[in-house]
C-alpha cells in the first residue's frame, strides 16, 4: 500500500516543473489527483502520466487568480473522489521583475494575486473539506526568495514571504482540526519557469549559480521538491505544522561557497532563482 493510497489531492500548477513532479510522486503512492492548471495540453498529459504511474487523476482547467476556479477545482475533487485530504498550492509565475520603481501597479497586483492570494484562496476553500475528512495537509510552494529577499524581484519576494507567514498563521487556526499547514522553499531548481525567468539563461549559467551560491553545488531538480512534498502530504509528517522547509542545496546558509575552489560570483543580477 502506498503512502497516499485513497487520499484525494488538488495540486495547482501541476502541468509542468515542480507541480508535475509532485503529482507523479503522489500518484506512485496511490493518490487520487486533480491536476489544476491553465495549460490544458500539458495538464492533460500530466493526468495521463499519473494514471500510468498507478494513481487516479483528472485535469481541471484552473486560473488560480480566480476564486471561483480554485473553489471549482476543490469541488471537482469532492465530486470525483468523495473527499479532500491534501491541498497543494503550487501554481506560480516569475511575476513583475525589475527595479521597484519600474514595476507597474497592475503587474505587482497580478504577481501577488497568483503567488499569495491564490494560496489564501486554496486554504480558505480546502479547510472545510479537510475538516469533513477528519484532517489533512495543506502544502504551499514558497521560495528561498521568501526567506531572503531577491533584488529586482521585490513583488515575487514579498509574495513568497507572505506565503510563509500565512502558513504559520493558518497552522495555528486549524491545528485542533488535525489539519497541518506547511510550505516548501525551493532554491535553484531547473524548471521551465526558472528558465523563462532567467535573463540570458543558459544551462551553464544555472550551473554556475548552483556552484557559487550554495554548499551543495548541483542544480536542484523538481524531484528534490517532490520528495519534500510527499513527506508533508503523508502521515510521516503528522507532527509537523507551521513550517517552511528549505529545499535549496543550502542556499539559506548564507548565499555562497567561499572556499578555495573559486570565489563567490558577483556577476548575477536579477532573478537567479524563482522557485
CA-to-CA dists, residue 172 to 3, 90, 130, 166, 240, angstroms: 26, 21, 15, 10, 12
- pTM of structure: 0.90
Total domains present in the chain? 1
Tell me 189's DSSP state: B
Are the beta carbons of 30 and 54 closer than 8 angstroms? yes
| 272, part of any domain | no
| 42, part of any domain | yes
| 275, part of any domain | no
Structural element, H or E, at residue 45 = helix 40-52
| 270, part of any domain | no
What's the domain range around 153?
8-252
259/252 Cα distance (integer angstroms): 17
Burial of residue 38, with CB atoms counted within 10 A of its CB: 0-12 exposed, 13-18 middle, 19 or more buried = middle
Q: Is the dihedral of CA 199, 204, 206, 212 positive or negative?
A: negative
| 274, part of any domain | no
Asked if 156 is an active-site residue, the reply is: yes
- 128-155: b or e for each residue (b if 16 or more CB lie within 10 Å)? ebbeebebbbbbbbbbbbbbeebebbbb
| 271, part of any domain | no
- Among 59, 81, 120, 156, the one annotated catalytic: 156
| 167, part of any domain | yes
Q: Spell out the per-residue pLDDT of the chain, length 275, in tens.
A: 799 999 999 999 999 999 999 999 999 999 999 999 999 999 999 999 999 999 999 999 999 999 999 999 999 999 999 999 999 999 999 999 999 999 999 999 999 999 999 999 999 999 999 999 999 999 999 999 999 998 999 999 999 999 999 999 999 999 999 999 999 999 989 877 655 544 444 567 778 778 778 889 888 999 999 999 999 999 999 999 999 999 999 988 875 444 333 433 333 333 333 44
Query: Going by DSSP bridges, is the β-strand pair 86-89/56-61 parallel, antiparallel, or unpaired?
Result: unpaired
The CATH number of residue 160's host domain is 3.40.50.720
Structural element, H or E, at residue 180 = strand 179-186
Query: Going by DSSP bridges, is the β-strand pair 136-141/86-89 parallel, antiparallel, or unpaired?
Result: parallel
| 47, part of any domain | yes
Amino acid at each position: 500500500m502506498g503512502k497516499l493510497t485513497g487520499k484525494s489531492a488538488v495540486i495547482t500548477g501541476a502541468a509542468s516543473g515542480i507541480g508535475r513532479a509532485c503529482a507523479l510522486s503522489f500518484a506512485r503512492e496511490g493518490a487520487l489527483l486533480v491536476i489544476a492548471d491553465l495549460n490544458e495540453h500539458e495538464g492533460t498529459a500530466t493526468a495521463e502520466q499519473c494514471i500510468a504511474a498507478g494513481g487516479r487523476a483528472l485535469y481541471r482547467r484552473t486560473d488560480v487568480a480566480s476564486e471561483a476556479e480554485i473553489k471549482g477545482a476543490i469541488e471537482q475533487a469532492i465530486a470525483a473522489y468523495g473527499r479532500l485530504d491534501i491541498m497543494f498550492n503550487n501554481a506560480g509565475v516569475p511575476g513583475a521583475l525589475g527595479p521597484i520603481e519600474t514595476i507597474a501597479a497592475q503587474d505587482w497586483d497580478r504577481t501577488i494575486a497568483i503567488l499569495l492570494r491564490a494560496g489564501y484562496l486554496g486554504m480558505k476553500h480546502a479547510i472545510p473539506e479537510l475538516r469533513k475528512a477528519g484532517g489533512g495537509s495543506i502544502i504551499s510552494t514558497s521560495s528561498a526568495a521568501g526567506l531572503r529577499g531577491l533584488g529586482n524581484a521585490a513583488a515575487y519576494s514579498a509574495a513568497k514571504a507572505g506565503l510563509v507567514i500565512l502558513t504559520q498563521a493558518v497552522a495555528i487556526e486549524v491545528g485542533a482540526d488535525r489539519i497541518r499547514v506547511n510550505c516548501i522553499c525551493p532554491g535553484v531548481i531547473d524548471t521551465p519557469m526558472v528558465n523563462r525567468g532567467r535573463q540570458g539563461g543558459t544551462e551553464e549559467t544555472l550551473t554556475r549559480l548552483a556552484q557559487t551560491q550554495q554548499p551543495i553545488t548541483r542544480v536542484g531538480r523538481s524531484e528534490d521538491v517532490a520528495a519534500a512534498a510527499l513527506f508533508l502530504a503523508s502521515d510521516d509528517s503528522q507532527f509537523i505544522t507551521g513550517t517552511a522547509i528549505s529545499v535549496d542545496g543550502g542556499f539559506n546558509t548564507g548565499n555562497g561557497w567561499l572556499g578555495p575552489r573559486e570565489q563567490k560570483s558577483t556577476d548575477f543580477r536579477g532573478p537567479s532563482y524563482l522557485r
